[in-house]
Amino acid sequence: LGAIYHRNGWVKACSVLITGANRGLGLEMVRQLVEGPCTAQEIFAGCCSPEGPRSKALKDLVEKYPDIITVVPLVLTPTALKCLQRLQVGDKGLNVLVNNAGVLAHREMQDTSDNNMLCAFTTNVIGPVSVTKEYLPYLCVAARSSGEPAISCCKATCSNSTLVSKHIVQNMFLKLRLSDIGSASVSQAGLNMLTVCAALELKKDVVLCTALDSDVEGLLKVMSSLNEQHHGGFFDYAGNTVPW
């Protein structure tokens, strides 16, 4: 995480934006950032339908920590995932962006429609592109104001929290055939390539860009240790490099 200081392997972050924060991995990441050893001064929890029933757990956290968590409404259009409000981060920018929002459809390849594929690509690939473009200026501000000379978690970080290889997909989805989650697998491979391309482009802006596995506690620990050697890489929850 973009850091103020390191302590026992954890990092205290200025500001963090997490998409898909109303349930699953995103919600747990928000919870651990306010209740665990890795605390954040500001958490922006991005989600679609923040007033809907699926967002109740997030609303409960916001009520408990109103001075730390701010809900950022997202809207999924046919061509992009859009944020509906600007972040109020002051002159220090945004330290961490976690592109966590995603969809998973359980269908065999022969039953996957064009719309299924388009939905997966819109959410899992175009969504992170749209969100990263929207908030890249905030990340660049944090990188410039950090005082750190090199790319590292102590400046600004853009992390795509789901990566895919045959090994990971088989483990994550309990040995399902890859064809059973074809649209998700293909789109997540696209997200992997997006991570590589973004890392090449954002290096000049000194913004660290990686893809991380989906174990929240492990993910936060790994993020706290990232530096220039990890830029553009793929890592599991234990910090091991994932071949892709």
The ranges assigned to domains in the chain are 5-235
Percentage, residues of the chain above pLDDT 90: 12
Q: Are 173 and 187 in contact (CB under 8 A)?
A: no
User: Which carries the bigger pLDDT value, residue 185 or residue 33?
Assistant: 33
The model's confidence at residue 44, banded by pLDDT at 50, 70 and 90, is very high
Q: What is the pLDDT of residue 1?
A: 38
Return d(Cα 91, Cα 127) in angstroms, integer: 26
Residue-level pLDDT at 115: 84
- Rank 13-22, 46-55, 57-66, 97-106 by mean pLDDT and report only the highest: 57-66
Best CA proximity match to 107, nearest among 15, 221, 183: 183
Contacts of 161 (CB under 8 A, 6+ apart): 25, 98, 99, 100, 211, 212, 214, 219
Architecture of domain 5-235: 3-Layer(aba) Sandwich (3.40)
Give the tokens for residue 178: 């890859």
- What pLDDT is recorded for position 55? 94
> What is the chain's mean pLDDT, rounded?
74
Where is pLDDT greater, at 160 or 141?
Answer: 141
User: Residues 146-163: what's their mean pLDDT?
Assistant: 58
Helices (H) and strands (E) in the chain, counts: 7, 9
Of residues 176 and 61, more confidently modeled: 61
Nearest to 189 by CA among 169, 159, 174: 169
- Predicted local distance difference test score (pLDDT) of residue 13: 56
For residue range 187-233, what is the model confidence (pLDDT) as tens digits? Answer: 888 888 888 888 888 888 878 887 766 666 666 766 666 777 777 77
Helices 127-145, 182-202: crossing angle, 10 deg rounding: 30
- Tell me: pLDDT of 69 over 90: yes
| pTM (2 d.p.) | 0.75
Q: Could you tell me the pLDDT band of residue 53, with boundaries at 50, 70 and 90?
A: very high
pLDDT reported for residue 38: 63
pLDDT at position 6 is: 39
Which residues partner with 212 through β-bridges? 235
> Would you say residue 151 has pLDDT above 70?
no
Average pLDDT over residues 96-100: 85
At 195 the pLDDT is: 84
Higher pLDDT, 174 or 81: 81
Of 84, 5, 71, the residue nearest 44 (C-alpha): 71
Specify the residue for token string 């299924």: 116
More confident site: 82 or 63: 63
Residue 168 pLDDT: 38
Burial class (CB in 10 A: 0-12, 13-18, 19+), 183: buried
